[in-house]
A and B are shown apart, each in its own frame.
Chain A
Amino acid sequence: MRTEPALVSVPEGRADATKLAASGVSKTFRNARGEVVSALGEVDLSIRDGEFVCLIGPSGCGKTTLLNLFAGLDRPDTGEIAMDGKPVTGPGPDRAVLFQEPALFPWLSVRSNVEFALELIGVPRAERTERAMDWLRRVHLGRFANAQPHELSGGMRSRAALARALACQPQVLLADEPFAALDAQTREILQRELQEVWSETRNTFVFVTHNVREAVFLADRVVLMSAPPGRLVAEHRITAPRPREYEDVLLSKVVVDIHDHLLKEVEKVVEREREIA
C-alpha cells in the first residue's frame, strides 16, 4: 500500500497507541451456487486511538466485511482483529455499530431504544432517562423522544441510532454507510452534525462509505480498497482543521484525486463483470 503525501498540511505527529488493528485478515464466503468467493484479501490496518478513518472502495470490495470483523459479528478466516492489543472474539458495547439501516427496535419508543442500550451496559435505572434525553437533545431529537421509530423521517431515525450508539460512550464507533439511504441534503446536514458531535467525543471511528466527498469531509484518513477481493491500495491523510466546510477548495482537490483513483478500481470491477457476462 502506498501512502499519498499529505495534501493539505503537515500531519500532527500524534504517535498514539493503536486502538484497532487488523493483521493479515482475510475472509471468504460461499455464494448461492456454493462457490467459495473471496470477500476480503489479506488486509493489514491499524487505527489509532481517537482517529477517524473512512474506508472507501467499489462495491463488493469487502468494506462491510472488514467492518463486521472489527465489530466481532464475523470471524476472519485468517489473521487477527485486535482492540487495545487484545483479540476481538465477539460483538460488544465497547464497539458501537451504525448499520446501513438505523436498526431501531420498532416496539420501543425512541427514548426507550436509547434507555435499553444503557440498561445493557449496566447504567442504573435512575440515570437512564436523563442520559438518554441528553443524547437525544444533542442530535436534535428531544421533542421526538416519545415517538415510535416508524413515526420519524429517515434522517431522524439515523439520528436516533446515532444517539443510541453514542449514549453508551463506546470506545470505537463502526459505521456502515449509515447515511446511504438518505437524500443528499439530509445527508449533508447529518454529516455536519456528526462532525460536531464527534469533535466533542473523539471516539475512534471507522466509517464505511462509497461517497468520496463524505469520506474527505469526515476523516483524518481515507483508506481506499481495491476491486474484490478487497485489499488496501492507498491512503490519504486529511489534515484540514475542523470544523470543515463542504466548500473548502483544498478538500475538493483531495476529493478529485481520490475520486480518480476510486474510478480506476470501479472500472476494474466493471471490466471483470463484462468478461464474465
Chain B
Amino acid sequence: MSNGNGRLRSAGGQIAPRLAAIGLLLLAWWATTATGLLSESVLPSPGAVLSAFAESFATPDPPRESILQATQASLVRLVVGLTVGIVVGTAIGLAMAASAFVQRSIGGLMAGLQALPSIAWLPLAILWFGLSERAILFVVIIAAIPAMAIASASSIRLVPPLLVRAGRTLGARSWVLQRRVILPAAVPGYVAGLQSAWALSWRALMAGELISTGGKGLGHLLDANRQVFLVSRIFAVMLMIIIVGMVVEALFGVLERRIGNRRGLLVAA
C-alpha cells in the first residue's frame, strides 16, 4: 500500500514540474499576445492556435489535407524509413561487434557520419532520386543507420564478460552463446539505440518534407501554411509534431521501465 502511495507521489512529483513549466509558458505567451503589440499574423494567441489546431482536423481546404491525413502520411514514411534504417544499421553494428577490422574501418565511418546532420544528404538525394518520396525516405534511412550501427555494436561490446564466461561454462557455444546470452544481455543498450534512431529519423523526416515541397505530410503542411501566411496553423502543425514525439517517447518509456524492472536496472525518470 505504502509502496503504491509512494509511487503515486513520485509520479505526481514528476508531472507537477512539467505542468508548471507548460503553464508558465502559456501564461507568458498569452500575456504577450494580450498586450496587442504583436499582430496575430506574427504571434497568434494560445486560443487562436488551439482553434486552428481543432479546425485543421476538419478543413482540407487551403492545404488540401487535414492534419490527421498529414500525420498519417508522415508516420507511414517514418515506419518504412526507420525499419530499413534499423535493419541496415543493426546489420552493420553486428558486423562491427564481430570483427575488430570492421569496427575500425566501418565503425570509424559511422562515427563520422553521425556528425553529419542527415538533412545535409537531401541535396544529393534530390539529385539522385528527384524531388520524390524516395529522396525523403533516403534521408530518413540515412539518419537512423549510424546511430543504430554504433548502438548495436557498443551494446554487444559492453555485455558483462562474466555473463559470457558463465554461458560458456554452462556449455553455450558459438551461435547458441550469441543468441541466448550475448544478444539478450545487449537488449538495454540496443533499445537506447532505437530511441535515438527514432528521434533522428523523425527530425530528418520533418526537415525533408519541409524542403521537398508538394506531396503530403506534416512537414509539407508546415510549408503549405507558410505559403498562405496561416501562422496559427503553422503553430498547430508544430503542436502535432510535438504530440507525436511525446507519444513515441512515452512508448519507449514503458518499454524501458519494463526491461528495467525485470532486470533490476535503475531507470532514470
Q: Which positions in A face B, CB cutoff 8 Å?
A: 71-73, 90-93, 95-97, 99, 101, 103, 105-107, 116-117, 120-121, 148-151, 164, 168
Please state if A107 and B262 are interface contacts (CB–CB under 8 Å): yes
Pairwise interchain contact A73-B168, C-beta atoms closer than 8 A:
yes
B163 in contact with A105 (CB, 8 Å): yes
| B185 with A92: CB separation less than 8 A | no
Instruction: Pick 9 A–B contacts, CB within 8 A, sort by A.
Output: A71-B169, A91-B169, A96-B169, A99-B165, A103-B163, A103-B165, A105-B185, A106-B185, A120-B171
Contact B171 A121 (CB under 8 A): yes
> In the complex, which residues of chain A have a beta carbon less than 8 angstroms from the beta carbon of B167?
105
The answer to whether A106 and B169 touch (CB under 8 A), given A99-B162, A101-B162, A120-B176, is no
Chain A residues near B180: list those with CB within 8 A.
116
Instruction: Using A99-B162, A105-B185, A107-B187 as known contacts, say yes or no to A148 and B168 having CB atoms under 8 A apart.
Output: no
Known: A93-B169, A168-B170. A148 touches B163 (CB 8 A): no
Question: A148-B262, A148-B263, A149-B264 are known contacts. Are A107 and B169 too (CB-CB below 8 A)?
Answer: no
The CA-CA distance from A90 to B170 in the complex, in Å, is 12
Shortest CB distance B219–A (Å): 39
- The distance in angstroms between the C-alpha atoms of A120 and B163, with both chains bound, is 15
Is the pair B168, A107 in contact by a Cβ cutoff of 8 Å? no
Q: Which residues of B contact A105 (CB under 8 A)?
A: 163, 166-167, 181, 184-185
**Interface residue? B172 (CB, 8 A):** yes
Decide yes or no: A148 and B264 within 8 Å by CB, A99-B162, A105-B184 being known contacts. yes
CB within 8 Å of A: which B136-187 residues: 162-163, 165-172, 176, 180-181, 184-185, 187
Chain B residues with CB under 8 Å of A150's CB are 263-264
Interface size for B (C-beta < 8 A) is 19
Q: Do B263 and A106 touch (CB < 8 A)?
A: yes
Q: Quick one: given A92-B171, A148-B263, A151-B264, are A99 and B184 in contact (CB under 8 Å)? A: no
- Choose among B165, B172, B184, B187 the residue that contacts A120 (Cβ–Cβ < 8 A): B172
Query: Which residues does chain A contribute within 8 Å of B263, judged by CB atoms?
Result: 106-107, 148, 150
Instruction: Check A120–B185 contact: CB distance below 8 A.
Output: no
Most chain A beta carbons < 10 A, residue from B163, B165, B171, B180: B171
In the bound complex, what is the Cα–Cα distance between A106 and B262 (angstroms)? 8
Q: Are B185 and A107 in contact (CB under 8 A)?
A: yes
Bound-complex Cα distance A134 to B193 (A): 40
Q: Which residues of B contact A96 (CB under 8 A)?
A: 169-170
Q: Which residues does chain A contribute within 8 Å of B170, judged by CB atoms?
A: 93, 96, 116-117, 120-121, 164, 168
Contact between A93 and B171 (Cβ–Cβ < 8 Å)? yes
Q: How many whole Å from A208's CB to the nearest CB in chain B?
A: 15
| Chain B residues in 8 Å Cβ range of A72 | 169
Most buried by B among A72, A91, A93: A91
The winner among B168, B169, B181, B187 for most chain A CB atoms within 10 A is: B169
CB distance from A99 to the nearest CB of B (A): 6
The complex places the Cα of A85 from the Cα of B263 at a distance, in Å, of 42
Are A107 and B184 touching (Cβ within 8 A)?
yes
B190 CB, min distance to chain A CBs, angstroms: 12
Report how far A37 CA is from B213 CA in the complex, Å: 66
With most chain B CB atoms within 10 A of its CB, the pick from A99, A121, A149 is A99
Inter-chain CA distance A95–B168, complex, in Å, is 11
CB distance from B222 to the nearest CB of A (A): 42
Given contacts A107-B262, A120-B171, A150-B264, contact A97 B166 (CB under 8 A): yes
A65 to chain B, nearest CB (A): 14
> Which residues of B sit under 8 angstroms from A117, Cβ to Cβ?
170-171
B165 touches A73 (CB 8 A): yes
**Bound Cα distance A103, B165 (Å):** 9
Q: Identify the 10 closest CB pairs spanning chains A and B, nearest first.
A: A150-B264, A93-B171, A103-B166, A106-B263, A97-B169, A120-B171, A91-B168, A91-B169, A107-B184, A117-B170
Give CA–CA (A131, B172) in the complex, Å: 19
Residues of chain B within 8 A of A95, CB atoms compared:
169
Q: Note all chain B residues with C-beta closer than 8 A to A107.
A: 184-185, 187, 262-263
Q: Across the interface, which residues of B come within 8 angstroms of A120, CB to CB?
A: 170-172, 176
- State A106–B162 Cα separation when bound (angstroms): 12
CB contacts (< 8 Å) of B262 on chain A: these are 106-107, 148
Bound CA span A148–B258, Å:
13
Q: For A168, what are the chain B residues with a Cβ–Cβ distance below 8 Å?
A: 170-171
Contacts of A91 in B (CB 8 A): 165, 168-169, 171
B162 contact set on A, CB distance < 8 A: 99, 101, 103
**Measured between C-beta atoms, what is the minimum distance from A152 to chain B in Å?**
10
Which residue of chain A has the shortest Cβ distance to B262 in the bound complex?
A: A148
B264 contact set on A, CB distance < 8 A: 106, 148-151
Bound-state CA distance A116–B170 (Å) is 9
- Smallest CB–CB gap between A232 and chain B, Å? 24
Residue of A nearest to B165 (CB): A73
